[in-house]
Structure formats: C-alpha cells, structure tokens
C-alpha cells in the first residue's frame, strides 16, 4: 500500500507541475524521477536498487532534456497514468506494455533531438570557426 501511495503521489506531482507556464520544468522532472524510482523501489530487487544509484544522473539529464520540449511534460502524462493504473490493477503485462510505449516514445524524442540543428554561436561559421 505504501509503494502504491508513493507512486500515486509522484504521479499527482507530475500532473500538478506539467502545466508550468514559466518554462521551469524542474518540479516536473523531480516528480517524474520520483515516479520511476518508486516503481524501482517497489520491486524490492537489490540489484536494481544498486543500479539506480548509477543511472540516476543519466536519467535526470534525459528527463530534463525531454521535459523541456514543448508539450512533452503534458504529453507524457497519459503514458505514466497507464503505467500507474496497470500497477494498481496488479496487471504486470499491462504495466510492462505501458512502460515499453513510454520508453519508446522517449527514445524517439531523444533521437529527434540529436537530429535537430544546433544554434550557432555568434561569430562562428557553419564550420565552427
């Protein structure tokens, strides 16, 4: 019950902060991290717990990058809600399928970010000189 409450509280935090109008995505990112870490901790898997310490920084960078995309925070809410609903219903296949869809969407966004042209700094040519 405590694990589900922590997961629900994280999702509520995401829903509350997804509509930030000031461009500050950090509260959403922190709630998103709490959501994913709550799932990880609920697994009670010592190996995953140890790995979470290693990948935390990488996830944080990824969440910050993707959450800063216009509409991304709000757009990710249905996927997170589907994961929560499946976990609450004790539907591991549904939770896994929902998580897979969310991860795939995030991977596509990160890949697209890598293809976007980077703004040039003033005083540099296209060749970076």
How far apart are the C-alpha atoms of 46 and 43, rounded to whole Å?
9
pLDDT single digits (tens) 77-102: 999 999 999 999 999 999 999 999 99
Which letter does DSSP use for residue 121 in this model?
P
List the domain boundaries for the chain: 2-115
Q: What is the pLDDT of residue 117?
A: 62
* CA 75 to centroid of chain Cα atoms: 11
pLDDT single digits (tens) 31-62: 999 999 999 999 999 998 888 888 888 888 88
CATH number of this structure's domain 2-115, picked from the four choices 1.20.120.530, 3.40.50.620, 1.10.3720.10, 3.40.50.880: 1.20.120.530
SS3 69: coil
Which letter does DSSP use for residue 120 in this model?
P
Q: What is the pLDDT of residue 124?
A: 55
- Residue 123 banded pLDDT, cuts 50, 70, 90: low
**Which uninterrupted H or E stretch holds 107?**
helix 92-115
């Amino acid at each position: 019950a405590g694990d589900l409450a922590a997961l629900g509280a994280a999702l509520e935090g995401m829903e509350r902060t997804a509509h930030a109008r000031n461009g500050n995505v950090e509260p959403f990112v922190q709630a998103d991290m709490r959501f994913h870490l709550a799932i990880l901790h609920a697994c009670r898997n010592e190996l995953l717990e140890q790995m979470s310490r290693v990948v935390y920084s990488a996830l944080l960078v990824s969440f910050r990058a993707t959450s800063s995309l216009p509409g991304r925070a709000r757009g990710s809410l249905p996927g997170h809600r589907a994961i929560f609903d499946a976990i609450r219903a004790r539907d591991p296949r549904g939770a896994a399928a929902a998580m897979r869809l969310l991860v795939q969407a995030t991977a596509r966004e990160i890949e697209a970010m890598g293809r976007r042209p980077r703004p040039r700094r003033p005083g540099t040519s296209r060749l970076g000189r």
